């Protein structure tokens, strides 16, 4: 797949020649007949290492723009504007009526597969990539003109069968029972006018969950109205399984030592700053000043764990992991961590502490077992992780607290009623990180707006910087 820059130029010359002599249409027909792509086949083209990285980073800008637009809860129009801006800048994709489509589509194809390699490594990365790619695909699908969209779907080898008029008549009553509530007054006409597809029911889990379709003998009968859902289910389920397959093949691919550093660098761009994965040799924080630092600067998730630890003199495993790795990432060395946890677990004997807890602490610092120095949990890992059950205190309060408990906590932290209302509204829309960001802004007056909180340790650093600026009497310059 890779060539030197010279070979690549030759290849491009060849493409250019073909472009002129063979003609653009035949190349397009054979390689990229559509703007939309299910990405079933990897590129066989030759590319340089530089292109490998640049294409991936450009696509990443688009995926990040999509993520940011979703996190900011933009309305449809603003969402479209933001995403289109990023697409035009980094990954332009014109419809079949425009010129120079091959290089655009080639870049789209290659960049997808490079990011697939970079983001197949962990569940968290796979999930993130899948979510953003699905959003990009959906955006393009909805923007596509009817002719190209239909032609693309026809070519996509989707396992759907159009229900014939006779079949439809035979199940007319059942189909009528599944018509959406909004058109209950004209049910018969609706069914008669819709084109229905028969698909294996496992291909449309979200429609099955919503009870929005008729199911019979393992088949789902999906009206044309749900075509977008149908295509999206197909796209995500295919990509999901291909990502798992890529993860299995990755160790072999990484034997090429040119690829590994690039893939790690690309992956890091999304994960952002990795907090706490490096060894803390001599951090600023000591066992004696952890309490003050956490109370003053830590986000609500960590203060909840800290409160529980102080009160119960104990935390269960998930809580110890979440809080312990956070402390490590704010600068608590392993010696100080052992001291801190020993003091915190004051009801345990020395023997119990050594036997049941000390090993795990050293393990987090890479001193036991596989000797991996673990990084602190990001917001998305905490929010999507196992929900706390009775006696647990891990998780994200904005996601896992009941509304009554959260409201009480917000009032305890001296938020005003309108501020509590703003946060609760965000939570109702499942915007937990935005709620946390608002909480930061309300509890750190002097900030108009900060980027969405993505990591508890980013919250902590912002809070420390904010306090330092306030002490100096200067407004804080938050990097955007």
Look at strands 161-162 and 196-200 and give their pairing: antiparallel
**How far is CA 446 from each of CA 438, 470, 476, rounded to the nearest angstrom?**
13, 9, 8
> By CB under 6 A, how many residues form the interface with ligand SF4?
15
The closest alpha carbon to 452, from 157, 84, 68, belongs to 68
The Cα–Cα gap between 451 and 434 comes to 9
Exactly one of 456, 462, 463, 466 binds ligand SF4 (CB under 6 A); that residue is: 456
The Cα–Cα gap between 223 and 220 comes to 10
The answer to the question of whether 301 is labelled as a binding residue is yes
> Closest distance between ligand SF4 and the C-beta of residue 231, in Å?
32
The pair of structure tokens assigned to 432 is 């937990």
The Cα–Cα gap between 350 and 103 comes to 66
394 contacts 324 by C-beta, under 8 angstroms:
no
Stretch that binds ligand SF4, among 92-100, 251-259, 356-364, 391-399 (CB under 6 A): 391-399
Question: Interface with ligand SF4 includes 379 (CB under 6 A)?
Answer: yes
The answer to the question of whether 436 is labelled as a binding residue is yes
Exactly one of 115, 199, 301, 406 binds ligand SF4 (CB under 6 A); that residue is: 301
Binding characters for ligand SF4, 250-289, by CB under 6 A (x = yes): ----------------------------------------
The Cα–Cα gap between 402 and 410 comes to 12
The closest alpha carbon to 299, from 460, 101, 128, belongs to 460
Stretch that binds ligand SF4, among 35-43, 145-153, 270-278, 375-383 (CB under 6 A): 375-383
> Closest distance between ligand SF4 and the C-beta of residue 396, in Å?
3
Exactly one of 397, 419, 427, 438 binds ligand SF4 (CB under 6 A); that residue is: 397
Question: Interface with ligand SF4 includes 433 (CB under 6 A)?
Answer: yes
Exactly one of 398, 427, 463, 466 binds ligand SF4 (CB under 6 A); that residue is: 398
List strands edge to edge, sheet with 219-223.
161-162, 196-200, 219-223, 214-216
Exactly one of 233, 453, 462, 463 binds ligand SF4 (CB under 6 A); that residue is: 453
Stretch that binds ligand SF4, among 263-271, 282-290, 345-353, 379-387 (CB under 6 A): 379-387
Question: Interface with ligand SF4 includes 432 (CB under 6 A)?
Answer: yes
The pair of structure tokens assigned to 393 is 């205190």
SS3 287: coil
160 contacts 302 by C-beta, under 8 angstroms:
no
The residue ranges that bind ligand SF4 (CB under 6 A) are: 299-301, 379, 382-383, 396-398, 432-433, 436, 453, 456, 459
User: Known binding site for [4Fe-4S] cluster: residues?
Assistant: 301, 379, 396, 436
């Amino acid at each position: 797949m890779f060539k030197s820059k010279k070979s690549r130029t030759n290849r491009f010359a060849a493409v250019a020649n073909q472009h002129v002599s063979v003609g653009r249409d035949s190349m397009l027909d054979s390689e990229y007949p559509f703007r939309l792509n299910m990405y079933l086949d990897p590129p066989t083209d030759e590319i340089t290492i530089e292109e490998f990285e640049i294409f991936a980073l450009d696509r990443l800008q688009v995926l990040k723009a999509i993520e940011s637009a979703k996190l900011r809860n933009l309305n449809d129009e603003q969402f479209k504007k933001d995403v289109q801006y990023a697409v035009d800048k980094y990954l332009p994709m014109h419809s079949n009526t425009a010129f120079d489509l091959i290089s655009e589509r080639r870049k789209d194809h290659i960049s997808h597969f490079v990011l697939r390699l970079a983001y197949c490594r962990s569940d968290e990365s796979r999930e993130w990539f899948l979510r953003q790619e699905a959003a990009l695909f959906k955006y393009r699908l909805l923007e596509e003109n009817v002719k190209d969209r239909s032609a693309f779907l026809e070519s996509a080898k989707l396992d759907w069968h159009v229900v014939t008029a006779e079949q439809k008549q035979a199940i007319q009553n059942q189909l009528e029972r599944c018509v959406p509530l909004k058109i209950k007054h004209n049910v018969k006409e609706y069914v008669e006018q819709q084109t229905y597809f028969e698909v294996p029911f496992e291909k449309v889990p979200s429609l099955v969950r919503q009870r929005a379709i008729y199911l019979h003998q393992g088949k789902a009968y999906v009206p044309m109205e749900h075509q977008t859902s149908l295509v999206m289910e197909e796209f995500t389920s295919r990509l999901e399984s291909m990502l798992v397959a890529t993860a299995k093949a990755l160790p072999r691919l990484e034997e090429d030592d040119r690829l590994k550093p690039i893939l790690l660098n690309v992956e890091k761009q999304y994960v952002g700053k990795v907090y706490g994965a490096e060894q803390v040799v001599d951090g600023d924080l000591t066992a004696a000043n952890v309490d003050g630092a956490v109370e003053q600067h830590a986000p609500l998730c960590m203060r909840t764990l800290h409160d529980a630890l102080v009160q119960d003199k104990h935390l269960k495993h998930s809580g110890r992991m979440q809080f312990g790795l956070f402390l490590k990432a704010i600068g608590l060395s392993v010696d100080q961590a052992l001291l801190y946890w020993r003091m915190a677990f004051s009801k345990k004997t020395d023997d119990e502490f050594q036997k049941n807890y000390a090993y795990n602490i050293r393990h987090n610092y890479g001193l036991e077992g596989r000797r991996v120095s673990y990084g602190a949990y990001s917001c998305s890992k905490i929010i999507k992780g196992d929900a706390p059950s009775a006696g647990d205190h891990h998780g994200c309060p904005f996601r896992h607290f009941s509304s009554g408990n959260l409201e009480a906590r917000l009032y305890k932290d001296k938020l005003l009623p309108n501020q509590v209302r703003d946060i609760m509204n965000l939570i109702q829309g499942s915007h937990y990180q935005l709620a946390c960001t608002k909480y930061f802004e309300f509890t750190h007056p002097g900030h108009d707006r900060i980027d969405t909180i993505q990591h508890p340790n980013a919250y902590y650093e912002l809070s420390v910087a904010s306090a330092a600026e306030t002490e100096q009497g200067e407004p804080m310059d938050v990097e955007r």
